[in-house]
Amino acid sequence: MGNVSSFNMRRAEMEDPPKKKMHKGESSASTAAEMIDDSKAFVERFSLLFDSSCFSDVRLRVGEQSYYGHRFILAAASKVFEAMFGDSSAWEESRQQEIRLVEEEACQAVFYDFLRYFYSASINMTTDKALPLLLLADKYNVQSLRNACVEYMMKHIEELPDKNKTLTWYHYSKLTGPEKLRDTCKNFIVSNFNVILDAADWVEMEREELVDFIGMSELCVESEKKLWEKVEQWLVADNNMDNCRDNVETIVPCMRFCKMTPTELLAIESSPLMPLFPDILKDKLAIAYRYHSLASNGIFLPTDQVPFRNYTSPMYGMRFPFELKNYANIPKIESRVCLSCQVPYLPSLEMETKKASRYAQFQVNFYPKGHFSTISLYGNFMGRQNDNVTLKISRQHVPVTVSPPHESKPYPPMLVEATLQLYSKKKELRFVGLTLTQTHIFTSKTPELVVDNVLDLARLKAEDSPFIVEGSLSGACFIKIQQVGDHLLEEDFCRVTAENSDIH
């Protein structure tokens, strides 16, 4: 079958395989055995057979395209083709001259690359091709290509929104694995949700996944208003309109409307969803308006306390950025990052009423080159140090009150969720490369939260450290006062909080 002479002509164009070089005075009889690697030429010879009629004994029909194939090559690369073409195969169609393979449209578009991989062991990969190729590798049990696709995905989770496919990859990996890809995708999504919100496949997110993400307090977004705008976009998208009521009933309760200002809440009343689902939206708005009404009178009920997310907008006053320049050369004793953080607790958020908000004072100390401290002993200063990258957060003893100035009461117990983020950069994308979250109840007896091993110091000091961008270490600390009140001192509550802290 096919034109043998044309194949031989193409083969003749290839370079001769490498030959072992003989040194002067050396005879072949006295030479020790030496491996000669001809793998490159070997692959090139097989590459010439790709989609060639020469020696072809089968044709594969995929969509409107037809490809010449060679059963022994297909069977050697794929367990599925091996079973299909085996002598004991019960699949009658496998003995036909042309076999029609039914593939999804996205997989049809990359089948040329997929089949060529069987002959050349190489592939031109992009973020658009990665998942369809992984689907084919899974379907036909081509383990080497599957591993290559996963490895590529792991390296390209951090991409600009126009090329970012992390949501789609997360959905697939959650259904079929691998777990490492799933976890890495999830960590990036939660810590860089602003990137995900602008990605092209945002409105294609599964409802269950959307509910999972917007139910998280560790979700990093600009503001609740920005999140709502994107959720509204998802709800009214054409692909989600068929189940619009179910979607609204499931998703809207996960939104934290009381973390919006009254002005932002008022804008929701003009949403295109309002006339369609007034029974759902009006109830959520009424609860949020009630929260702000009580807050403006200094009344904060424990049942009304809804956790903050990791909001980056300055309006919330909970994000404290830092930058340590010239990280590699700065002495350890000068490397400490010290942040004085005035954090509003039980705020009403509106600028005109913010004067009535109370503030708690925290001090954040971050030791990115290892922990050190000095103590005074008999008039002499002594130092203590280790190589643990340490985060220490202390609540100051004296409460800060804005108005009236004479009011100064001891701090009530506070449930605080503290998050440390370190930034990385890939091309033009600046993203969160590491997120660490811990929960702690600050009281007069427990005024300090210490996290000893934030990450391995060697990873920070490495020449290719992902966290050192243009010589600088940048990041931010979020301090979110999630609950306030004496109920936090109850034994059961403390136990549950400790368990949650361990999970983080």
pTM across the whole model: 0.82
The CA–CA distances, whole Å, from 434 to 196, 387, 417, 420 equal: 17, 19, 16, 8
Instruction: Indicate if the pLDDT at residue 66 is higher than 90.
Output: yes
For position 345, what pLDDT does the model report?
74
What are the helix (H) ranges across 140-223?
143-155, 166-176, 179-191, 193-197, 207-214
pLDDT tens-digit map of 352-407: 444 445 789 999 999 999 998 866 555 555 567 899 999 999 998 765 555 555 55
pLDDT tens-digit map of 119-130: 999 999 999 999
**Beta carbons of 444 and 410 less than 8 angstroms apart:** yes
Instruction: Indicate if the pLDDT at residue 32 is higher than 50.
Output: yes
Residue found under tokens 């130092």: 383
Instruction: Indicate if the pLDDT at residue 34 is higher than 70.
Output: yes
Q: How confident is the model at residue 348 (pLDDT cuts 50, 70, 90)?
A: very low
**What angle do helix axes 244-251 and 207-214 make, rounded to 10 degrees?**
20
Instruction: Indicate if the pLDDT at residue 329 is higher than 50.
Output: yes
Beta-carbon contacts of 152 under 8 Å, excluding residues fewer than 6 positions away, are 125, 130
Beta-carbon contacts of 25 under 8 Å, excluding residues fewer than 6 positions away, are none
pLDDT tens-digit map of 438-486: 999 999 899 999 999 999 999 999 999 999 999 999 999 999 998 888 8
Q: Tell me which residue of 204, 184, 200 sits closest to 431, measured CA to CA.
A: 184
pLDDT tens-digit map of 128-171: 999 999 999 999 999 999 999 999 999 999 999 999 999 999 99
